[in-house]
Structure 1
Amino acid sequence: MTVADVRTQDRYPTRRGAESALLERTDPVVWPGVDSGPAGTGELAEHQDKGFHVLPGLLSPAEVQEHWQELERLVRDPDVRADERTVVEKESNEVRSLFEVHRTSEMVAELIRQPRILDRARQILGSDVYVHQSRINYMPGFRGNGFYWHSDFETWHAEDGMPAPRAVSLSIALTDNFPFNGGLMVMPGAHRTYVSCAGKTPDDNYKSSLQEQKVGVPAEDDIRRLGYEHGIEQFTGAAGAALWFDSNTMHGSGNNITPYPRSNIFVVFNSVQNTLVDPFAAKQRRPEFVAATDFTPLGR
């Protein structure tokens, strides 16, 4: 079997009918290939075991303030608001996400190239990396809608053509994450199970799924089974903390009805050895700002 055959073979089938299924993951979580970097042995072991690890204080208070001001600048910019890369809430029309932010913000572009971030991504994925997707998520107080339980890899595989779960996401908190303002919930250990979802991908599904995902989400019985088997943890802590999590981590968040907004920088690093092919369960790949096809390795 050639390298091309391995990359185009659908080892994680999904959206093929009315029934969902739980499949065993066949790929590593922490990949071999990069032996040194900022991540310690314990952090990598935790990432391997739980599918994620938390790094308190990735950004200093001064850096948090600088990046929060950058978020506010982007949200207030009428050109940014009118851009197709800006997603708004269905009901309130408030900004929900600003995509491809590493291209629209020099500050974010510089941040993700710093060794403390880039070299950790390389350690986890065992190779050079590129940015598959970046965005700033903004969950306002009172009206911020959450994200239902899902694995990002299921969507990236089905709709973007990502062959394997050799990608890692970084969520950097720009606001304090409390247990009560819609903080991200994760299932430790569930990354070892791939949920093959029911249904089929509608045309241009991304236009609605970026606001509210309805296709490619696990059945309630699957969520119940994974939840009782693995439990649920929540990413909380002071602004500046970071959560690194595997692309197949089962995660979700509740609505934010508190006065306290919750915002984060979200970046997906993909291995340059795991670049996109044709989508596995969609007629065409999502737009460039959602699923990059520039596979140039990220440099310092």
Structure 2
Amino acid sequence: MRLTPQQLEQFDRDGYLFFPGLFTPEETRTLTDAVPDLYARREAYNVREKGSDAVRTNFAAHLTSEPFARLARHPRMVQPVMDLFDEEVYMHQFKINGKMAFEGDVWQWHQDYGTWLNDDMMPTERAMNVAIFLDDVNEFNGPLMFIPGSHKKGVVEAKHDLTTTSYPLWTVDNELIAKLVERAGGKDGGIVSPKGPAGSMILFHSCLVHASSSNLSPWNRVSVYLSLCAVSNHIRRFKRPEYIAHRDFTPIACLPDDCLLQPYPVDVPWKNGMPASALATTSEPFDQLKKAA
């Protein structure tokens, strides 16, 4: 899938593109059917909600599950990012965010690149998120909220929130959020929330400020997020475990467009368990580690 000049212009202006129903129900079903088994595993890569057994985030499913390994190589998700960067990309992070019915907690206002810069020493914002809805998303089940154009501000000031939820996040304070929303149009479009059927896809800039509210509805809102980074922009520090911030900078080789419906062979190295090395971390920059070696 290639982006049109009009889409490139819209992305530059707003910081995101929305593709309702891009994946068919049959394609989406191959993914949703694989989620319960992933969520049931008692592994470090399943982060559960604070005070609940509900999964908040599952990391690295593309290394443990064949359907998600194929999704990680899907041209509809990967090619648009390569178009924007004019460069090959690697998988920086792969998440399945739960936002389960009645139990899905908030995701505070943040920029993803803020975390990648502060924790992973990613040099620039040449990284991107691609999200696909595995459930229908409506105004009640905690949809994503974006501040259009906020990516134009670059990296904004953030603080490390270690207490609000079960997952630490570099968050943006309320005063700055209010200013960004007003700048984007206030009550007339200062916050937008793409909603649509399962199989819809969002492409959004790593500096776009976004959040989501808790899910008090009886409907799950499970979504997959591919965080794709330009190969030349790979992270320089392994402060976070490998299952969160990946260390394989090999360019992604796309599969054919029907890869969710056909059993193309894929490598699933963690299928039988995550290696101990995936938990290892270091505060030393990657360049210094190379010199020491």
TM exceeds 0.5?
yes
Q: CA deviation at 1:180?
A: 1.4
Contact 2:91–2:229, Cα closer than 8 Å, also in 1: yes
Q: Which residue of 2 aligns with 1:260?
A: 219
1:56 maps to amino acid: P
2:23 maps to amino acid: L
Pair 1:38 & 2:2 matched? yes
Contact 2:142–2:212, Cα closer than 8 Å, also in 1: yes
Map 1:13-24 onto structure 2 (within 5 A). Answer: none
TM-score normalised per structure 1: 0.79
Q: Which residue of 2 aligns with 1:250?
A: 209
Equivalent-residue separation in structure 1 for 2:183 and 2:172 (angstroms) = 15
Pair 1:181 & 2:161 matched? no
Equivalent residue in structure 2 for 1:70, among 34, 39, 44: 34
Cα 1:64/1:198, change in 2 over 3 Å: closer
1:227 maps to amino acid: V
1:252 maps to amino acid: A
Equivalent-residue separation in structure 2 for 1:66 and 1:258 (angstroms) = 25
SS, match of residue 138 in structure 2? coil
Contact 1:43–1:53, Cα closer than 8 Å, also in 2: yes
Q: CA deviation at 1:123?
A: 0.6
Q: Which residue of 1 aligns with 2:112?
A: 152
Cα 1:210/1:111, change in 2 over 3 Å: farther
Q: CA deviation at 1:251?
A: 0.2
SS, match of residue 211 in structure 1? coil
For structure 1, the 5+ residue unaligned runs are 1-36, 279-283
SS, match of residue 116 in structure 1? helix
Cα 1:263/1:269, change in 2 over 3 Å: same
Q: Which residue of 1 aligns with 2:166?
A: 211
Map 1:110-149 onto structure 2 (within 5 A). Answer: 110-149=70-109
Equivalent-residue separation in structure 2 for 1:144 and 1:123 (angstroms) = 34
Contact 1:195–1:218, Cα closer than 8 Å, also in 2: no
Aligned pair count reads: 249
TM-score normalised per structure 2: 0.81
Equivalent-residue separation in structure 1 for 2:245 and 2:217 (angstroms) = 32
Which segment drifts farther, 115-124 or 223-232? 115-124
2:35 maps to amino acid: L
Equivalent-residue separation in structure 1 for 2:155 and 2:176 (angstroms) = 8
Regions of 4+ moved over 4 Å: none
1:298 maps to amino acid: I
Q: Which residue of 1 aligns with 2:285?
A: none
Cα 1:252/1:165, change in 2 over 3 Å: same
SS, match of residue 170 in structure 2? coil
Q: CA deviation at 1:114?
A: 2.4
Q: Which residue of 1 aligns with 2:257?
A: none
Q: Which residue of 2 aligns with 1:106?
A: 66
Equivalent-residue separation in structure 2 for 1:165 and 1:209 (angstroms) = 26
Q: CA deviation at 1:124?
A: 1.5
Equivalent-residue separation in structure 2 for 1:190 and 1:89 (angstroms) = 28
Equivalent-residue separation in structure 1 for 2:37 and 2:241 (angstroms) = 25
Q: CA deviation at 1:94?
A: 1.1
1:225 maps to amino acid: K
For structure 2, the 5+ residue unaligned runs are 185-189, 255-293
Report Cα offsets for 1:20-41 as digits up to 9, x if no partner. xxxxxxxxxxxxxxxxx52222
Which segment drifts farther, 57-66 or 109-118? 109-118
Equivalent-residue separation in structure 2 for 1:262 and 1:114 (angstroms) = 22
Map 1:276-287 onto structure 2 (within 5 A). Answer: 276-278=235-237, 285-287=239-241
- CA RMSD after TM alignment: 1.8
Q: Which residue of 2 aligns with 1:33?
A: none
Equivalent-residue separation in structure 2 for 1:195 and 1:51 (angstroms) = 14
Equivalent residue in structure 1 for 2:245, among 291, 294, 297: 291
Contact 1:87–1:210, Cα closer than 8 Å, also in 2: no
Equivalent-residue separation in structure 2 for 1:115 and 1:85 (angstroms) = 26
Contact 1:51–1:188, Cα closer than 8 Å, also in 2: yes
Cα 1:138/1:159, change in 2 over 3 Å: same
Equivalent residue in structure 1 for 2:19, among 55, 59, 69: 55
Q: Which residue of 1 aligns with 2:288?
A: none
Contact 1:197–1:216, Cα closer than 8 Å, also in 2: no
